[in-house]
Structure 1
Amino acid sequence: MNVISYAYRKKGSMEFKYDKFAYSKVILYPIKNYYFIKFIKWNASDPYVTTKDLEEMEILANEEMGTLEFYLQRKGRTLAK
């Protein structure tokens, strides 16, 4: 999965679009020093979103915003590639 685009929204939130879910908008909010998915404006043209997809979206968004280190500290683990 890759980030297609992202945009800033009100109150520090972000709107991301991913290639796997090209028609859906993922809304992330800042929590302390990282971003967390608040909700998804899901489109029926996209596949169902799984828990694994949600975690991958959060990792990609935090990587893009430069906050991945804080996100991983919250999760208490390192990124295995």
Structure 2
Amino acid sequence: MRLVNWSYAKRYNIKAIFDEFPHVVVWFRQIGGYYFIYTMKGLTKDHIPERRDYVRMEYLLNKDLGMLEAYKERKYKV
């Protein structure tokens, strides 16, 4: 999976698109020193991400923003 594009949105959110789910816009919010998935727009019944996909998306975005260390130190880990 690759992070195709991301941009800042209203109220300190970030919206991102990933190559494995190009029809889905993933919205992230910041908590502590890292970003986590808040919501997704454009999901279909045929192609729903699994938990490992969510973790990979969060990992890629935080890596791109330079917040990977804070993400790795989060409380809840899979």
TM over 0.5: yes
Where does structure 1 lack aligned partners over 5 or more consecutive residues? none
Residue 46 of structure 1, CA deviation: 6.7
Q: Deviations over 1:37-60 (max 9, x none)?
A: 001113338721101100000000
Partner of 2:60: 60
Runs of 4+ in structure 1 deviating by more than 4 angstroms, as ranges, are none
What secondary structure does 1:69 align onto? helix
In the aligned structure 2, how far is the partner of 1:18 from the partner of 1:69? 21
Could you state the TM-score of these two structures normalised by the residue count of structure 1? 0.86
Worse-matched range after superposition: 58-67 or 37-46: 37-46
What is the percentage of aligned positions where both structures have the same residue?
A: 31
The equivalent residue for 1:15 is 15
- The residue number in structure 2 matching 1:25 is 25
Query: What is the CA distance between 1:76 and its match in structure 2?
Result: 7.3
Q: 1:76 to 1:40 in 2, by over 3 A?
A: closer
Q: Provide the rounded CA distance (Å) in 2 between the counterparts of 1:47 and 1:71.
A: 26
Unaligned runs of 5+ in 2: none
Relative distance call for 1:36 and 1:48 in structure 2 (3 A) is same
Q: TM-score, normalised by structure 2?
A: 0.89
- Work out the CA distance in 2 between the residues paired with 1:56 and 1:67: 14
